[in-house]
Amino acid sequence: MTRDDRTLLRAHVDGDPTAFAELVTRHRDRLWAVALRTTGHREEAADALQDALVAAHRKAATYRGEAAVTTWLHRIVVNACLDRIRRSRVRAADPLPDDLGEHPPPGAARADPAPGPEEAVLARETHDRVLAALATLPPEQRACLVLVDMEARPLAEVAEVLGVPVGTVKSRCARGRARLAALLGEDRPPGTVPPPPASHHRGGDPR
C-alpha cells in the first residue's frame, strides 16, 4: 500500500531507513525544478537542493503538520536557494538554463508537439527572452514568480513557503511581472505588444 507524505516523514523519524528516500523520490523532480528556476544556475541549484534535502533529513522531527509536507519541503528548498544566491552573489544578469521550460506546472496546457518551423522559432525566442529577463529580478521576486506563475502554487501556500504575508507575495509578484513586461517590451519591434508573463493569480498588490 502506498504511504502518504506524512506517513513517510513520520516513519523516517521513527527510524524507517527507506522512508525518506521514498519521499524524496516522489517529489524530487518538482523540487529540482523550483531550485533550478530560483537560482538560475545548474550547479547552484544542485548544491542548494542537496543542502535542503540534508536539512530536511535532519530536521524531520521538527515537522509539526501545520502545513503539507510538500509545503514544508518547498520552504526548505527555497530558503536554501536564496541563501546560496546571497552567499555566492550570482550575477543577476546571467541567463537561466534553456531547459527550465521542460517542467510545466500541473494542468498547464502543453504546446503543440509538432509546431511549424516559424512558430517553433518564435516560441523559442520568446522562451529565451523570458528566462533571461527572469534572471535579472531580485531573488525574492524571482522565487515568488517561480512558485506562483511557473509552479502554479496557491498564494496562501507560497506565503507559507516564504514565511511572508500573502500581501507581500502579491506585491512581489506584481513588481516582478511589471519588471518582466518592461524588459520584454524593450526587445520587441516598435508597435508590438509584449506578451504578459504567465500568471495564475491576478490582482496583485500594486505596491
Q: How deeply is 28 buried, as exposed, middle or buried, from its count of CB atoms within 10 A (0-12, 13-18, 19+)?
A: middle
Q: How much is the pLDDT for 98? A: 44
Q: How much is the pLDDT for 115? A: 60
Alpha carbon distance 23, 10 (integer Å): 11
Q: Please, what is the angle between helix 69-88 and helix 42-59, to 10°?
A: 130
Task: Give the fold, CATH level 3, of 114-201.
Answer: Arc Repressor Mutant, subunit A (1.10.10)
Q: Which regions in the chain score pLDDT beneath 50?
A: 90-112, 188-207
Closest CA to 135 of 123, 124, 143: 143
pTM: 0.70
Q: How many Cα neighbours within 13 Å face the side chain of 39?
A: 28
Q: How much is the pLDDT for 78? A: 96
Q: How much is the pLDDT for 91? A: 46
Q: Mark out the alpha helices in 89-145 (DSSP H runs).
A: 117-134, 139-145
**Sequence-separated (6 or more) residues with CB below 8 Å from residue 59:** 76
Q: What is the pLDDT of residues 146-166, one digit of tens each?
A: 999 989 999 999 999 999 999
Task: Provide φ and ψ at 188, rounded to 5°.
Answer: -100, 155
Question: Side chain identity at 85, as an amino acid letter?
Answer: I
Q: How much is the pLDDT for 169? A: 96
Q: How much is the pLDDT for 185? A: 77
Task: Provide φ and ψ at 153, rounded to 5°.
Answer: -85, 140
Task: Give the fold, CATH level 3, of 1-91.
Answer: Rna Polymerase Sigma Factor; Chain: A (1.10.1740)
Q: How much is the pLDDT for 62? A: 94
**Where in the chain are the domains?**
1-91, 114-201
